[in-house]
A and B are shown apart, each in its own frame.
Chain A
Amino acid sequence: MRPNIRPGRIAVHIALVLYTILAIGPIALILINAFKTRRAIFSDPLGFPDARTFTTIGFDQVFTKSDFGLYFVNSLTVTVVSLGLIILIGAMAAWALTEYRFRGNTIIALYMAIGIMVPIRLGSVSILRMMVELNLVNTLTALVLVYVAQGLPLAILILGEFIQQIPRDLRDAARCDGVSEYRIFASIILPLITPAIATVAVFTMVPIWNDLWFPLILAPGDGKQTVTLGVQQFIGQYVTDWNAVLASLTLAIAPILVLYLLFSRYLVRGLTAGAVK
Chain B
Amino acid sequence: MSDITASGVQPAESVSVRSRFPVHVAVFLAPALAIYTLFSIYPLIDTIRLSFYTGDESGARHFAGLANFYTLLTDPAWSGHFWNALRNNLVFFAVHMVVQNAIGLGLAMLLSLPRLTGGSVYRTLLFLPTMLSVVIIGFIWQLMLNPLWGIAEKILSAVGLGSFFGPWLGQETTALITISLISVWQFVGIPMMLIYAALLNIPDDLLDAAIVDGAGPFSVFWFVRLPLILPTLGVVSILTFVANFNAFDLIYAIKGALAGPNFSTDILGTFFYRTFFGYQLQVGSPTMGATVATAMLIIILLGVLIYLFGVQRRLQRHTF
Contact = CB atoms under 8 A, between A and B. Distances in A.
A and B touch in the complex (CB under 8 A): yes
Interface of A: 4, 9, 12-13, 15-16, 19-20, 22-24, 26-27, 29-30, 41-42, 45-46, 89-90, 92-93, 95-97, 99-104, 108, 111-112, 114-115, 117-127, 129-130, 145-146, 148-150, 152-153, 156, 175, 180-182, 185, 206, 209-213, 216, 228, 231-232, 235, 242, 245-246, 249, 252-253, 256-257, 260-261, 264-265, 267-268, 271-273, 275-276
Interface in B42-67: 42-44, 46-47, 50
B28 A235 contact: no
A93 B47 contact: no
14 contacts: A13-B118, A16-B107, A100-B15, A103-B20, A112-B32, A118-B300, A119-B246, A125-B276, A145-B38, A152-B40, A175-B11, A175-B15, A228-B136, A272-B194
A70 B249 CA distance: 22
Residue of A119, A122, A127, A156 most packed against chain B (CB within 10 A): A122
B304 A148 contact: no
Nearest to A16: B122
B127 A264 contact: yes
Contacts of B248: 121, 212-213
A276 B199 CA distance: 10
A88 to B, nearest CB: 8
Nearest to A100: B25
A-B interface, 8 closest residue pairs, ranked by CB to CB distance from nearest: A123-B43, A93-B32, A149-B39, A210-B133, A96-B28, A272-B197, A126-B46, A126-B43
A20 B125 CA distance: 7
Contact of A249 (B15, B50, B139): B139
A210 B136 CA distance: 9
Nearest to B28: A96
Contacts of A101: 15-16, 18
Given A231-B135, A261-B124, 6 more contacts: A41-B149, A89-B35, A101-B15, A129-B46, A130-B39, A275-B235
B39 A146 contact: yes
Given A19-B107, A126-B42, A121 B286 contact: no
A49 B217 CA distance: 46
Specify the main secondary structure of chain B where it touches its partner. helix
Interface of B: 11-12, 15-16, 18-22, 24-25, 27-29, 31-33, 35-36, 38-44, 46-47, 50, 103, 107, 110-111, 113, 115-118, 120, 122-129, 131-136, 139-141, 143-144, 149, 151, 154, 185, 188, 193-194, 196-198, 200-201, 232, 235, 238, 242, 246, 248-249, 252-253, 269, 272, 276, 286, 289-290, 293-294, 296-297, 300-301, 304
A103 B35 contact: no
A123 B126 contact: no
Nearest to B24: A181
B141 to A, nearest CB: 7
A139 B153 CA distance: 44
Contacts of A152: 32, 35-36, 40
Contacts of A276: 197-198, 201
Contacts of B289: 124-125
Contact of A125 (B21, B42, B50, B238): B50
Contacts of A46: 151, 154
A127 B43 CA distance: 6
B295 to A, nearest CB: 10
A108 B36 CA distance: 12
Nearest to B141: A26
A14 to B, nearest CB: 11
A188 to B, nearest CB: 14
A20 B111 CA distance: 12
A232 B122 CA distance: 30
Contacts of B132: 27, 210, 253, 256
A16 B35 CA distance: 44
A243 B274 CA distance: 31
Contact of A212 (B22, B143, B197, B253): B253
A273 to B, nearest CB: 8
Given A125-B293, A272-B196, A104 B33 contact: no
